[in-house]
Amino acid sequence: MNFEGRIVGESPKDEAASAGEDNVEQVLNVEGKAEKPREVKKRIEALLLEPEAALNVIDLMRTELGLMEEYLQEFLNMRKQPHTYTPKGWDNAVTRHKEGDVWKHTLHVIAALEKKEFIQAVRNVYGLDDSASPEDVREVLFEKCGTEFIWAILLHDIGKCGTAKPEMQDLDDEKTAYYFSFRGHEKRSSELFEGIAQRLDFPREEAEKIHQLIEDHMVMHEIARGGSVTPERKREIFQKPNSEALLFLQFADALGNYTDRSPHQKADAFYGAWDEMMKYSEKDEGQAFRRAG
């Protein structure tokens, strides 16, 4: 299935798309507001945990738009927020988020869980055999990281709407990149998630885990990039109970951001951060992994 084609609406419905639509009809057979909020939450969650979850989200918006508007309006709003802009009469040398707006980026982050680099990373750090199927790998991922992980992926950037600031960067080849920065969007995303958590009646413990993943995802990007994060701050992040889920969120987020960095380079950054996490962490689970070559 051509996932990118489905996003821009170029691909016809094929067998995989039909399968995704059938899944939506089976799992989200709700009747207006008669469904209890927590049941709606469980139904949406079931779609997110399935393979090809990004396609499920697209079809959910097509078949259950009213439900999305009632419970996940903040997610829908991301369609209105671009990552880049182009001044009239100028060319934009886009260097980041070539996948498009914030909504499209989020779909690519969800789909990144099925990229070969991500699947192999789960196999490597949890000691799975290379013969483990993508389905088995996905099961282990959610067993280790919890279902809160997929909600954090879905909603980690909803705060970019309202925090966008136009920026420009002169490049070495006399070109200019025009883009939006979103400073503080992780905090705003967490604030907006609170409304979603209340509407969908999230259990408090689950909601707190999602809040933490959303709020900390940018500092994990800094750690993975080798940014200026103090040892004390690293220790604080790495010793949190959901630090592994946070690092996998960072990796999926990086894979869903189409930049000039290759997936291989992003994988190397993930493995480096994982090794560093194992040094700081007091947890017994997980294993250090250093990529060969």
Percentage of the chain modeled with pLDDT above 70: 84
Q: Is residue 15 part of a domain?
A: yes
- Residue 53's alpha-carbon distances to 50, 59, 114, 280, in angstroms, are 5, 10, 10, 33
Q: Is residue 99 part of a domain?
A: no
User: Higher pLDDT residue, 287 or 192?
Assistant: 192
Arithmetic mean of pLDDT over the chain: 88
185 vs 127: CA distance, rounded Å: 35
Residues 53 and 123 in one domain: no
- Classify burial at 260, counting beta carbons within 10 Å of its beta carbon; exposed 0-12, middle 13-18, buried 19 or more: exposed
CA-closest candidate to residue 47, choices 204, 156, 154 = 154
Q: Which domain holds residue 154?
A: 104-163+183-280
Q: Is residue 232 part of a domain?
A: yes
Confidence of residue 6 (pLDDT cuts 50, 70, 90): low
Half-sphere exposure of 203 (CA within 13 A, CB side): 7
pTM of the predicted model as reported, rounded to 2 decimal places? 0.87
Location of structure tokens 């690519």: 108
- Classify burial at 290, counting beta carbons within 10 Å of its beta carbon; exposed 0-12, middle 13-18, buried 19 or more: exposed
Instruction: Give the pLDDT confidence of 47-70 residue by residue, as tens digits.
Output: 999 999 999 999 999 999 999 999
Residues 143 and 22 in one domain: no
184 DSSP 8-state letter? T
- Cβ burial 70-88 (10 Å sphere, 16+ → b, else e): ebbebbebbeebbbbeeee
Half-sphere exposure of 104 (CA within 13 A, CB side): 19
Q: Is residue 83 part of a domain?
A: no
Count up the domains in the chain and report the number. 2
Q: Is residue 194 part of a domain?
A: yes
Q: Residue 85 pLDDT > 90, yes or no? A: yes
142 vs 241: CA distance, rounded Å: 15
pLDDT value at position 133?
A: 96
Instruction: Give the pLDDT confidence of 18-55 residue by residue, as tens digits.
Output: 444 444 544 455 444 468 999 999 999 999 999 999 99
